[in-house]
Amino acid sequence: MAGTVDTKFVKYEVKDRIAYITLNRPEAMNALSQGLLADLNTAFREAGRDDDVLVVILSGEGGRAFSAGMDLKEFSARQAEQAAAGQAPAAIGAGGDGPSGFTSVGRCRKPVIAAIDGYCLAGGFELAIQSDIRVASRKSVFGLPEARRSILAGPGLTQLPRMIPLAEALRIALTGAPISAERALQIGIIQELAADREEVFKVAQGIADEILLGAPLAMQEIKRLVKEGVEMTIPQAEMLREILSAQLAQTEDALEGPRAFAEKRAPNWKMR
C-alpha cells in the first residue's frame, strides 16, 4: 500500500485511490484522546490534499470497538489540573479536546465510509454520524451515554436528529441506552448490516468501488450540495446546485464524461 502519514494513534494507508484511516488505540477501545484526535486531523488533512485519494474508509483497530468515545480518564485528569490552577473546567469537545480533529471527518470533501465493528459509542458514534455512509457488523452497538455523565453530546444532538426520526434521536440521547446494529439499520443510522468484521470491509470496499466509477469532481460537488442543501430551503438549494453545476461544466471532466459514453469506453478523469 502507498501513502503514509507520521501518526502514532491513527493508521493511514492508500490503495487503489482509497485512503484507509484506522483509529489505533485498541487497548483503550480506540478512545478519543487528544493525541488520537490530533492524528485523525492529520490523516484527514492528508486525504483531502492527496489527489490520488478519492474515497476514505474509516474504521477502528482491534475488533472490539470502532470507538468507545472520548477518553474520559484523560479528560477528567485535565479537569482536575484546571481546577487546581483555579481555571474554569473546559467542556468536552472544546479547546484542547481538538475540535478540528473531531470534526475533520465531517469536513472532508471526499466521500467517507465508516466501517464499524464493535462498540460505537459517544464520541465514536459521533465520528460515525459525521461519515457519509455507515456499514456495521451484527455485533456492533451504538449509543450516546453522555447524559449519564452530565455531558452534552455534539453531533449526536445536532446532526443525528436531522438524519433519523426525531423521537428515535431523542430516545437515544435521553436514555443513554445502547441500541443494536439491527435497530440502527431499521431507523437509518447505518446503511448496510454485515455478518462480521471481514464482511464489513468487503461491503465498505464494494461501496467505495461503486463511488470510484463516478467522476471525482462530481462526487465532491454532490456531497457538498447534499450536505449543505439539506440545511437550506429548496430554492436556496436549487440556486447552489446551479452555481456548482456551472462550475463543473467548465472542467475537462465535464467534456470527458459524455465523450467517453459516445465512444463506448471508460472515461479518463483528470480532475480538472
Model pLDDT for residues 98-112, shown as the tens digit of each residue: 445 678 999 999 999
DSSP bridge pairs for 21? 12, 58
**Strands of 192-194's sheet in order across:** 10-15, 18-23, 55-60, 112-116, 133-137, 192-194
pLDDT, position 247: 92
Phi-psi region of 11 (alpha: psi -120 to 50; beta: other; left: phi over 0): beta
- Please report the pLDDT score of residue 260 as a whole number: 86
Instruction: Please name the amino acid found at residue 49.
Output: R
Evaluated on CA atoms 223, 225, 229, 231, the torsion sign reads positive
- Provide the grid cell at 270: 483528470
Question: pLDDT digit string (tens) for 121-148?
Answer: 999 999 999 999 999 999 999 999 999 9
Q: Which residues of the chain have pLDDT under 70?
A: 1-4, 74-101
- Say if residues 227 and 129 touch (Cβ distance below 8 Å): no
Could you give the residue ranges of the DSSP H alpha helices within the chain? 34-49, 72-84, 99-107, 122-130, 155-158, 160-163, 166-175, 181-186, 197-211, 216-229, 234-249, 252-262
Residues catalogued as catalytic: 126, 146
pTM: 0.89
